[in-house]
A and B are shown apart, each in its own frame.
Chain A
Amino acid sequence: MSISEQSVGIVSAQRADFKLAIELTSGATLPSYSLTFETYGELNAQRSNAVLICHALSGHHHVAGRYLPEDKSAGWWDNMVGPGKPIDTRRFFVVGVNNLGGCHGSTGPSSINPETGKPWGAAFPLMTVPDWVKSQARLADRLGIERWAAVIGGSLGGMQALQWSIDFPDRVAHALVIASAPKLSAQNIAFNDVARQAILTDPEYHDGHFYAHGAVPRRGLRLARMLGHITYLSDDGMGAKFGRMLRSGEFKYGFDVEFEIESYLRYQGDKFSDQFDANTYLLMTKALDYFDPARPFGDDLTAALSRAQAGFLVASFTSDWRFSPLRSRELVKALVAADKAVSYGEIESRHGHDAFLMLDPPYVNLMRSYLERVAEEVAA
């Protein structure tokens, strides 16, 4: 079957406006907000086949398909979402949403603050994973979805799936938590802070109000992305792809791009800094750092999960050192202790953290197998 046959095809984004204020974990309140989202497939008559895809740090609502036939790339999880794919749009009604604080259409730091008539900038309140889940629940209400057949996410997205199962136990039938963690380690927070410092110390950042200066802290964003990118790959995978390959075949004895890996990272950094909002990047990394569902339960993850009613699929990847298998096993351990239905796969992969976006066959098989059960269960 060719790629095009398996695609959801041409899609378009939608927007939901919420006039109802949302109180945030930080104590701040957003008086109103919008969420940009996309849907694929059909909601069945019982409204039982809806699947929510939660995005990671740099993701968004455009999960699958293309806006125009000539679009160079499809949605960020097009290899997993589509007709006949593991998240099968012939059976499921799939919803992708851009999180609050994002920079792809939902209300965020680059949106206009109604009180000032100017972009929010750094004044935009910081978000937490529970805040996102709350806002996504309102979107679910709007779409008439009482209970998700599954909430699925990788990395920061997996944290949202986990939070959903705790905050709205009766609204999640299954949570798929991939390449994620029940909370970040010190090392992981440290990487995030270096990325933030790159942005915060860029002279073009202007304390977060760079929009007013017609500036973009491109250098900071670029560095942040380059650093992040290194941590998303494995030494092994990077070695296999780039090794010590030189662009010109010989040393130039200077600081220009010489090794292929330098070229690759710079390209990724440049591409990212052209598209992504610096304030959103800061906000997303803070949401990662703050995530700790056990905290309100006396640091007892088992107690936090005891209210969950969902079935869980947890998956990790052997070469992922940013969200290592050990962190997923912590989660599995707590789920077993809380007597929850859980399966766990530790996928052999050299793709590092990025593996959750790749198609290592055991990973695809695991997702397909689990989601086929889910589809049968909800009569999709």
Chain B
Amino acid sequence: MSTALREDLKLIAEWVPAGASVLDLGCGDGTLLAWLQHSKSVRGYGVEIDIDKVVRCVGRGVNAIQGDLESGLCDFSNQRFDMVVLSQTIQAVRHTEAILLEMLRVGREAIVTFPNFGFWQNRWQIFRGRMPVSETIPFQWYDTPNIHWCMLGDFEALCAKNGIEVRERVVMNQDRRVDFLPNLRGSLAFYRVGLRQ
């Protein structure tokens, strides 16, 4: 197993405790879960809508369940998982709030990552009169799967509204952490959240 994990996945992996049970929503080809299983003895399942990606998961020994996040997580019981991951997908789902709540129904904690719409390069493109296209947003406005854009403050407000506390936040730009003016200088946001006790 290659140890080279993409920078953003590496950060997620750091937040997953060893031996945890993990649900990875939109798990793609299973890269993260395969690494977690191998390096942190994690037990987990991925949910993926694309059968070709399910096949790739199966080929690397990752449990993958073909399904559509939009129809909810009714196949999973309450508090079934230690950690539920939604990586760079929340901006593309229709029922954003419902999914966030579902994640914290089936899991004790959740990791949510998304491209920060408030990143200065996005703002600059808008200032110049065009919708942003960048490394983290590689789509034209007319063929983008992304329908629910937000910035750090927006996501945090949604959490607050639902009694969700942010337990950890990291903002990155090009594999580097951004601590100063993150909503302006960060292109990718990482949150570890849980229900307020």
Residues of A within 8 A of B (CB): 313, 329, 332-333, 336-337, 339, 341-348, 362, 365-366, 369-370, 372-373
Given A343-B57, A365-B52, CB of A333 within 8 Å of CB of B75:
yes
Instruction: Verify if B45 is at the interface (C-beta below 8 Å from A).
Output: yes
State in angstroms the CA–CA spacing of A343 and B64 once bound together: 5
Given A341-B63, A347-B51, A362-B52, CB of A370 within 8 Å of CB of B75:
no
Contacts of A347 in B (CB 8 A): 51
Contacts of A341 in B (CB 8 A): 63
State in angstroms the CA–CA spacing of A125 and B32 once bound together: 52
9 example contacts (A-B, Cβ-Cβ < 8 A) are as follows: A336-B80, A339-B21, A343-B64, A343-B65, A348-B51, A362-B55, A369-B56, A369-B58, A370-B59
State in angstroms the CA–CA spacing of A43 and B66 once bound together: 34
* Further pairs besides A342-B63, A343-B54, A347-B51: 7, Cβ < 8 Å: A329-B67, A333-B76, A336-B80, A341-B63, A345-B58, A366-B54, A370-B58
Shortest B46–chain A CB gap in Å is 9
Residues of B within 8 A of A (CB): 21, 43, 45, 51-52, 54-59, 61-67, 75-77, 80
4 pairs of A and B residues whose beta carbons are closest in the complex: A369-B59, A362-B51, A333-B75, A344-B65
On whether the beta carbons of A346 and B66 are closer than 8 Å, the reply is yes
State in angstroms the CA–CA spacing of A345 and B57 once bound together: 11
Which one of A333, A337, A344, A348 lies within 8 Å of B64 (CB-CB)? A344
Given A332-B75, A333-B75, CB of A345 within 8 Å of CB of B45:
no
Shortest A339–chain B CB gap in Å is 7
Shortest A372–chain B CB gap in Å is 7
Shortest A110–chain B CB gap in Å is 41
Given A337-B77, A343-B64, CB of A372 within 8 Å of CB of B54:
no
Contacts of A362 in B (CB 8 A): 51-52, 55
On whether the beta carbons of B59 and A342 are closer than 8 Å, the reply is no
Shortest B122–chain A CB gap in Å is 36
On whether the beta carbons of B54 and A345 are closer than 8 Å, the reply is yes
Contacts of B55 in A (CB 8 A): 345, 362, 365-366, 369
On whether the beta carbons of A343 and B75 are closer than 8 Å, the reply is no
Closest to A342 in B: B63
Closest to A373 in B: B61
Shortest A40–chain B CB gap in Å is 24
On whether the beta carbons of A345 and B66 are closer than 8 Å, the reply is yes
State in angstroms the CA–CA spacing of A370 and B59 once bound together: 6
State in angstroms the CA–CA spacing of A344 and B49 once bound together: 11
